[in-house]
Amino acid sequence: MIERHIKPEVAAIFIDVARGRRGIYADDAAFEKLLAEAKAAFEAADPETAEIIRQFARAEVPDGGVLFHGLTVDQDDMGESPRDPVAFEGKDRDPVTEAALLAFASVAGEVFSFARQHRGALIQNVTPIPGHEYDAVGTGSRSLLDWHSEDAFDDAHPQFVGLFCVRGDERVQTALAPVDRIDLTAEDEKVLREPRFMHGIDKASGGTGRPEDGVQGAALYGENGKRFVRIDMDCAAAVAGDDEAAAALKAFHDGADKEGIYVTLGAGDILLFDNRRVMHARTPFEPRYDGTDRWLQRVIITDDLGRSTDRRTRHQRVVENELVGA
């Protein structure tokens, strides 16, 4: 995985771009203006980094991920880590961290969201939330968030994911498992490419998380030797009675454990990864609930917004909740 340090003068441009731009969570026009101007300012200030992101989007970087260090976070301005992300999204503040995340993400593709998550917010604030400690969702904490690709149950699943670390926690690691690294037998690969698995709908998307309540489909796909992944290990299982598929899924999970790349995100880090070439996970930790907890801002990105045109009827970047089967 590539790591790159952003020059201080580049990091500072997002402060200028974001100055006075309140309301981007609630106003589509304000969001679009910030996105366009942040992207333009970033590409002009640091074309080399922008080109690395384009190479990432073209699958030309190793392991399907890029980690950037050195962005600016004013911790006093950000305030306490929110226990209620919706309340934070209504806060009157200059969206500096959002500007940076949008700039990096928009070079990779088109930012979008699902109406079923965070009320359709295009930038989602993710912190541990009381009551979610043992849930297999981003706002959980005490349980391992196992290997998964985002929105595996939905045909509109994102191509890329972007994370901005607003506040880090040295006790927590984010893990990436590039699927091309995972050693599988030819037979297991064949089975994983067949629709022999149930993909549950996670609780963050309004589902139960139980495989049997989800949709049926394959775990791997891709033509001409390409291997793309579509699975959430916390919410997936082989079709009932299919022992061969269950064994293949276990082999895939064990292979991901062996190939995992672990990183500890610190304040100002941006991580971009390919949601179809990489599974990701998060290690368990004990939440503090004292305003200092780990805090990420998250976006999902598509390489082709046109694929979801029929499901974006109210907002140009928000996909409505009807689920499309695997």
Binding annotation for Fe cation: 148, 150, 280
Binding-site entries: 148, 150, 280
Find residue 319's DSSP bridge partners.
114
DSSP secondary-structure letter at 111? E
For the record, the structure tokens of 272 come out as 């971009």
CA dihedral over 245, 257, 325, 189, signed as positive or negative: negative
Q: What are phi and psi of 36, to 5 degrees?
A: -65, -45
CA distances to 36, 38, 88, 144, 268 from 23, rounded to whole Å, are: 16, 16, 11, 34, 22
157 neighbors 150 (Cβ within 8 angstroms): yes
The Cα–Cα gap between 300 and 116 comes to 13
- Report angle CA 97, 150, 262 to the nearest 5 degrees: 70
